[in-house]
Amino acid sequence: MNTIAQHWINGQWTGSDSVLESINPADGTVVGSFYDGGEAEASAAVDAAAAAFETTEWSRNPSLRATALSRLADNLEARVPEVAAMLSRENGKLLGETTWEVSGAVGWLRYAAASARTQNAGRAAETAPGQYTHSVPEPLGVAGIISPWNSPVMLTVRALGPALAAGCTVVVKLPAQTALTNELFAQVLASVTEIPAGVVSVFTESGNTGAPFLVSSDKVDVINYTGSTPVGRRIAAAASTTLKRLGLELGGKAPMVILPDADLDIVIPTVVQSLVLMNGQFCCTGSRVLVHRDIADQVRTRLTNALAQVRLGSGDDKDAQLGPLIDRASAQRVDAIVEEATSYGTVLLRGGAVTDGPLAAGAFYRPSLIEVDRTDVRIVQEEVFGPVQTFEIFDDEDDAVTKANATIYGLAASVFSSDSMKARRIARRIRTGTVWINTWGAISEDFEEGGVKGSGYGYLCGPRAIEEFQALKVYVEQDHTQSTH
């Protein structure tokens, strides 16, 4: 790596006036230094992307795009251990999770490579005598991708792959919390000689000037953002002035609906995993446990005991189940929400920040479980983004569905039952983009991801992902030797 992590803009490594430090949330130590970008870097990257779209063959050569994406997958695969280790140090996730993330991104790039060759055809028909009409999907132009720190590699690739496959040129804004990982990923991009300069630029930003520039620029044709719902609303408002295409995957408050006939030997470890994965900092975190009254006592006891036994540790601790939050400020924010909930809920397990022992220097937070009988309270209605679950009881299917749908969010949910038809019936009524049945967190590059309601709109992964970065052009040709009547 460079001594100070740099941006990759228009085929060149560049710095900035400001230099900051990347901090390991597990122990507060400095991982390294990075140049902190902003509007200047965003502007330079957009200009480069706009020029590359017009002057290179990238947008018109699907074979080149497929080859480049395949090479990108190969080169990332070769560096999975290195990128995963750095990501674990910077954002605190367990090494097994970061390895899964980076390895999974390789598969998504391979899917995108195939899409470049297979999803570039339109339709054709003789729509009237002598009148021939055909449609062709074309790249929208310059795409801006704004990625979060909780899974920066996978969530970037999830949009970058289809954007490049479509023929767009791309500017990626990555978060400061994973700055050194960002540079490693940019190095992989830079190693793919088939990608012309300017087609992909990557910059890191801790502030809030570069990303807004991407959203408001009339040179940027499509924005993909993954992050919070409040920020998503601001992006939608700001983008309205240019009427650019938007893809927004926003917050979640995933309900875990447990029916009386569910196999609790499957349910309990799955619900625990849904809370601790990514240290509870995941838009699909199983933050709401909805349990039928007939089994509430069993689930309450078993889940409380299981969460109390969760082992905390740094990313390289092979026995750890839960790493630190991204920083101490997040631990304080989460704890304030939990403390407020104790005034209206029943504390089943009061976790909290680790303040003594070998983990005290980090941003560790023990799991909390709060039983509530209202859906209009903050801990139910807001995305906590930490290892905190609510325990809620329902009486029948209608009650379960009503409570599951009681928030603004609609990203994901789970239903647990030994009766598959019953589970599907309930799943059909839950308003989310994804419903898992007797499992949680299963994702694939072959099928779409997206939310409804306050969780955003647009699709990533699957065959519809590339369409988020394409426009359809219709050509009509008339043979005047034939009548059109």
Which residues are catalytically annotated?
A: 249
Contact 85, 102 (CB under 8 A): no
Tokens of 366: 């023990």
Strand partners, 175: 205
Tokens of 481: 């030797």
Tokens of 191: 């190693």
Q: In sequence order, which residues have a C-beta less than 8 Å from that of residue 451 and are 6 or more positions away? A: 249, 250, 252, 409, 410, 411, 412, 432, 433, 457
The Cα 341–Cα 141 span in angstroms is 47
Side chain identity at 386, as an amino acid letter?
A: G
Write the CA distances from 24 to 80, 97, 121, 152, 204, integer angstroms: 19, 16, 47, 16, 17
The Cα 345–Cα 353 span in angstroms is 20
Tokens of 87: 């990501």
Tokens of 67: 């080859």
3-state SS, 116-142, equals HHHCCCCCEEEEECCEEEEEEEEECCE
Q: How many helices (H) and strands (E) does the chain have?
A: 14, 23
Calculate the dihedral angle through the C-alpha atoms of 413, 408, 217, 223, rounding to the nearest 10 degrees: 10
